[in-house]
A and B are shown apart, each in its own frame.
Chain A
Amino acid sequence: MPTPIPRVRLPATAKKGEIIEIKTLIAHDMENGQRKGADGQIVPRKIIKLFEARFNDALVFSADWHPSISANPYQSFFYRADESGSFAFAWTDDDGSIYKAAAKLTVA
């Protein structure tokens, strides 16, 4: 599987106190460890197990994912804009790989 590429959508600017929605998507098979491959053997589990969103280094939202999360996992959540800064998003794979994305937010 190629390195999963995350995609993040959020507004570039927000008013102070405004609650914005952040939508994320990452290409990943989320192999649940239940499926049999062409050889009849169970394909071993390999999923992204943790998603984290930080703003100016402070954790603002996280999600523990288990094998019942669909392939190419989608996650949306909210954030109350308070000051300008940057988001750092991280997806942690079963194999220890961490996939990252970043985005800036300007608060007027």
Chain B
Amino acid sequence: MRAGLARRQVFAIAVAGLFGKAAFASPLAQAELDKILAGRPAKEGVVKLDLPAIAENGLVVPLNVEADSPMTAASYVRSIAIIADTNPNPLVATFRFTPASGRAAASTRIRLAETQNIIAIAEMSDGTLYTTKAEVKVTIGGCGG
């Protein structure tokens, strides 16, 4: 079991090295990312994720995300998607903004099954994509059982 996971992680890192894109340990999470990217490149930056480095309780982990943008009709952040690598359902949420949002920022609370990487993908009104990631160490997992 542990060896299998490690092998997958090594594979994911190898894939990331080959293709230079953010890759996940979990194929489920990778599939969600691929669906959002739809073959388009994503740059690092612009979007910021704020999560605790250590979460004692994986049932309730505060998450804040924000993307820099003037938020005008001509240039705004259309959406920010959140993916948790090794959760059973990796896609956590998609926040959809409008120029009336003023700031492309949102906070919520999420469940994390175990220590893992969280990735945010922001899509701008011109279709440009930005990503960032954060690792959260989870002491007690939050997906029932």
On A, residues with C-beta under 8 Å from B are: 19-20, 32, 34-36, 55, 58-71, 73-80, 82
Contact = CB atoms under 8 A, between A and B. Distances in A.
Contacts of A76: 106-108
Given A63-B94, A78-B102, 14 more contacts: A32-B89, A35-B145, A55-B100, A61-B96, A62-B96, A68-B89, A70-B59, A71-B59, A73-B109, A74-B107, A75-B106, A78-B101, A80-B71, A80-B101
Interface string B126-145: 00000000000000001111
B84 A64 contact: no
B87 interface: yes
B89 A80 contact: no
Report, nearest first, the 9 A-B pairs whose CB atoms are least far apart. A35-B144, A80-B102, A19-B102, A78-B103, A70-B109, A68-B92, A64-B94, A76-B107, A60-B100
B22 to A, nearest CB: 18
Interface of B: 59-61, 71, 84, 87-103, 105-112, 142-145
Given A63-B96, A73-B109, A68 B84 contact: yes
B87 A68 contact: yes
B87 to A, nearest CB: 5
A74 B103 contact: no
A2 to B, nearest CB: 21
A104 B96 CA distance: 22
A75 B122 CA distance: 18
18 contacts: A32-B143, A36-B145, A58-B100, A60-B101, A63-B108, A64-B96, A66-B92, A67-B88, A68-B89, A69-B108, A70-B61, A73-B109, A75-B108, A76-B106, A78-B103, A79-B100, A79-B102, A82-B100
Contacts of A71: 59-60
Given A69-B111, A76-B107, A64 B93 contact: yes
